[in-house]
Chains A and B, each alone.
Chain A
């Protein structure tokens, strides 16, 4: 599958294996009309992108939360698990959306609304955790370093 992305400014054409495309029956908050995303994996970087297949300018940088917040966890509602067709935990990919800045140390991650992908059914959704003390703007830079060293 070929997709277009402007995640670094210039438009690029990427070839993405179909296995890395995901259907979001409920669009991501603020982007309700986008229902089809590809997971773009960067060579030699832990950052991935959730790139809209239809809109090159809509892409979200993602990071696996366990890289910077090893104790991260939440209970996935049955309704979300059902909607994703998720039966086995090992089929789930959990990612947090990053908000980037020119200063890498200012990078934050949204721990309240993780992206859950089912690699078996290739469905995805952004779940919203309620009643949590987790941060929507959790600073990741220092934590990434400390977790990598640990």
Chain B
């Protein structure tokens, strides 16, 4: 991991295309300005983690036979009749 010290209004340039600038520092809050090509996705780390957690929850809750009844109920709620076993 590369660790750099920057002051307000100083920046780093990543790969010649993406600039991350420290706009202001106020106590423990740092405001960053990011200029990046449109194909670069910039996402808050917490949001990525939250999505990953929810995905893991979704995959984990599958795999139990009891869910088939739950799914049938959902199918009924969606107004589609399921085949009788």
Contacts and interface: CB of A to CB of B under 8 A. Distances in A.
A47 interface: yes
B53 A30 contact: yes
A145 B79 CA distance: 7
Contacts of B66: 102
B52 interface: yes
Interface string B49-85: 0111111111101111111111111110111111100
Interface of B: 38-41, 43-44, 47-48, 50-59, 61-75, 77-83
Contacts, number: 144
Contacts of B81: 44
8 contacts: A8-B67, A44-B75, A47-B75, A61-B58, A61-B71, A99-B57, A113-B55, A144-B79
Interface of A: 6-10, 28-31, 42-47, 49, 57-61, 63, 67-68, 77-79, 82, 97-105, 107, 110, 112-113, 126, 128, 130, 136-137, 140-142, 144-145, 147-149
Contacts of B57: 99
A95 B39 CA distance: 23
Given A29-B52, A97-B54, A149-B79, A47 B43 contact: no
Contact of B74 (A8, A9, A47, A147): A47
Contact of A31 (B38, B59, B82): B59
B55 to A, nearest CB: 4
A60 to B, nearest CB: 5
Interface of B is mostly: helix
A136 B62 contact: no
A104 B73 contact: yes
A110 B61 CA distance: 14
Given A103-B70, A145-B78, 20 more contacts: A8-B65, A30-B52, A30-B55, A45-B72, A46-B74, A46-B80, A59-B59, A67-B78, A77-B38, A97-B54, A97-B58, A102-B64, A104-B69, A104-B74, A107-B70, A110-B55, A113-B55, A128-B51, A130-B47, A145-B79
